[in-house]
Amino acid sequence: MSEILNIKNISQFHEILGLSAPEHPLISFINDNDALDKSEIDETLYNIRFSSDMYSVMYKDKISGSLGYGRNSYDFQEGTLIFASPGQVFTSPKKEDIKGKKGWTLLFHPDLLLKSNLSNKMDSYTYFSYEVTEALHLSKKEEEYIFGVTEQIKLEYSQNIDKHSQNLILSNLELLLNYCMRFYDRQFYTRTNLNSDFVGDFESKLKAYFNSELITENGLPSANYFGAQLNMSPNYLSDLLKKETGKSIKEHIDAYIVRKAKNVLLNSNQTVSEIAYGLGFEYPQSFSRMFKKKTGLSPNDWRNLN
């Protein structure tokens, strides 16, 4: 397997692209055309695997499979936003794939967020863990919102830094991420028929798992398992389920376990420990805690009352 190039900071990224030193050490807006026109990029940097220690928001116009990430290529006519968190691995485009492409990249280092409220909110922006095939596809009006906010971010870090700069950069960055959350909600809503198919597939695979040898061999199913089965990232699947059903992957799994457990409690003499092991729990106490959290009663108390 080829070696992965790790980009540690904004300055290194600028250096790789042959750009001048960044105007701010922790955040940078890079226009793809400017970077390609002004730099002499080393031929060895095309079509390689790379990761960075930074968050990335990448806009691509009518991209067609030129960014390697996830299992499928894609071709959308609207502008596309792709998100990456620190440590995610991509494959850089081939040289011929970048001709005529329009786009930009907003990079920001986690250190930018230190001691800010935004730092505590980053985990809620789950789209940073989506795959590229689960990108955000913008309408023209949405593009205008996004471009306006990114321009404001660039303006703030490009001018003379004063005591307000950090707060304004972070405020506009948070506004950008919140807009992206809203637009993803719109995308889930407009694809509701397709999403319903995925919900049905998920429920079928959930039942099949508990009725197979996998429960004995591997224990409780994980979000990663169902994501792989449905060819999407676990975060995207969980958010899709949340939008369609009001429940995340874990909530669906727990609800199914409780239903099966109730059936066994009513129709067998199995002990709670036997039921727990049969449902994939390593420790019966974990099953009892989960059951009580969902029903308000311990498994034995529920059995005795019913």
Yes or no: is domain 193-305 CATH 1.10.3720.10?
no
Give the CATH architecture of domain 5-190. Sandwich (2.60)
Mean pLDDT taken over the chain: 84
pLDDT for 11: 94
Alpha-carbon distance of 17 to 34, in angstroms, equals: 10
Contacts of residue 224, defined as CB under 8 A and 6 or more positions apart, other chains included, come to 234
Which residues pair with residue 5 across a beta bridge? 50
Kindly report the backbone phi and psi dihedral angles of residue 48, in degrees, each rounded to the nearest multiple of 5, phi listed first.
-120, 160
Per-residue pLDDT tens for 7-24? 899 999 898 888 889 999
In the structure encoding, which two tokens stand for residue 253, read together?
Answer: 């799994």
Domains 5-190 and 193-305 belong to one CATH topology: no
User: What does the pLDDT look like over 279-297, one tens digit per residue?
Assistant: 999 999 999 999 999 999 9
| Domain spans in the chain, listed from the N-terminal domain onward | 5-190, 193-305
Q: Each residue of 246-256: pLDDT tens digit? A: 888 999 999 99
For residue 234, which amino acid is it? P
